[in-house]
Structure 1
Amino acid sequence: MSNAYKLTVNGGNAFDVTEEGLSQLDAISTGPAHYHILKGNKPYKAAVTHADFLAKQYTVTVNNNSYTVDIATALDQLIKAMGFEVGASKQVNEIKAPIPGLILEINVTVGQEVKENDNLLILEAMKMENTFQSPRAGIIKSIAVSKGDAVDKGQLLIEFE
């Protein structure tokens, strides 16, 4: 793999950049995340105002104009060309009972907005109470069980919009 990057600015314009090209850039750090850049004898003030290192996305302000920059390495580009997305994860839209048990408590209602890790319900199985937490932020679309219901393994409990 080469040390080449594809920079996508504001979701549209794409630029191919190499580490060698970046090293030839006339830029001086003027403070934390602030830079003075000369390009073609024209000065620019730049600042990195937001950085999401894991998503490889940055917001850069140049002469008071903000730009969102996505950075993709050669490996990222190859993975995308193969039909995969880097960092993509499966969206959980429903919660099913992992084991048979009895619904002791339901802590949400249909239409309620929940955050990740909010308590949804408690299932008693084999004399143990199992608390189910929300795997993601979202809105409760339906609740397929009621307090006191006996459920089977794999039975739908809660569905997200």
Structure 2
Amino acid sequence: MSQKFNVKTNDLYQFEIDSDTVKSLDAVETKKDSFHLLENNKPFRVEVLASDFDNKSYQIKVNNNLYTVQIENQLDALIKALGFEVGASKIIDNIKAPMPGLILDIMVNPGDEVTVNTPLLILEAMKMENSIVSPRDGIIKSVTGTKGNTVDKGELLIEFE
């Protein structure tokens, strides 16, 4: 069964191609990441300059013309339609206590600029110290917890702007 792909080049041109068409191309690898390709008896020299497999993005040179190519299969299209794109993340506006515990230390103040994985506070729960880190880049809007106080699960600790 043939699989269909949506292909976008240079963020301008979009077309659909299927795996049977790709298989029917006469392509020969001349050296690593370089190919000689024939389509309808017309020759093309293709070179893969860069590839980002996770984002399915490639930079290629065809007969000395540069192209940025994005490839999306049917599953990618479905995931995108459902609003779950690869690499996309939900913007988190606040940090709530993941469990009941005692706040041992707070490392940030309102107005502080933080990046992903910046330590925000230490919460002791079940005799274990849990470091709560920032899930995103941002600016701290408010810190509602206080060092030495106990918190319940789900209690608001930190808000982002």
Fold shared, TM-score > 0.5 on shorter chain: yes
Q: Which residue of 1 aligns with 2:84?
A: 85
Residue 99 of structure 1 contacts residue 154 of structure 1 at CA under 8 Å; is this kept in 2? yes
The residue type paired with residue 140 of structure 2 is K
Deviations 1:60-115 (A, max 9, x none): 2334544332212223334445x443435433332101233332112334332313
The residue type paired with residue 129 of structure 2 is E
User: Is 1:113 aligned to 2:114, yes or no?
Assistant: yes
1:33 CA drift (Å): 2.1
Q: Which residue of 2 aligns with 1:130?
A: 130
Distance 2:31 2:2 in 1: 30
Residue 75 of structure 1 aligns to a residue whose secondary structure is helix
Runs (5+) with no aligned partner, structure 2: none
TM-score computed with the length of structure 1 as normaliser: 0.75
The residue type paired with residue 154 of structure 1 is G
Distance 1:119 1:61 in 2: 44
Once the two structures are aligned, what percentage of the paired residues are identical? 43
TM-score computed with the length of structure 2 as normaliser: 0.75
Residue 138 of structure 1 contacts residue 160 of structure 1 at CA under 8 Å; is this kept in 2? no
Q: How many residues align?
A: 157
Distance 1:50 1:14 in 2: 19
The residue type paired with residue 27 of structure 2 is A
Runs (5+) with no aligned partner, structure 1: none
User: Is 1:32 aligned to 2:32, yes or no?
Assistant: yes
The residue type paired with residue 6 of structure 1 is N
Q: CA 1:139–1:35 in 2, change beyond 3 Å: closer, same or farther? A: same
Q: Which is further off, 37-46 or 90-99?
A: 37-46
Q: Which residue of 2 aligns with 1:157?
A: 157
Residue 49 of structure 1 contacts residue 61 of structure 1 at CA under 8 Å; is this kept in 2? no
Distance 2:153 2:78 in 1: 40
Q: Which is further off, 36-45 or 15-24?
A: 36-45
Residue 114 of structure 2 contacts residue 134 of structure 2 at CA under 8 Å; is this kept in 1? no
Alignment of 1:4-153 (within 5 A): 4-39=4-39, 41-51=42-52, 53-81=53-81, 83-87=82-86, 88-109=88-109, 110-115=111-116, 117-135=117-135, 137-144=136-143, 145-153=145-153
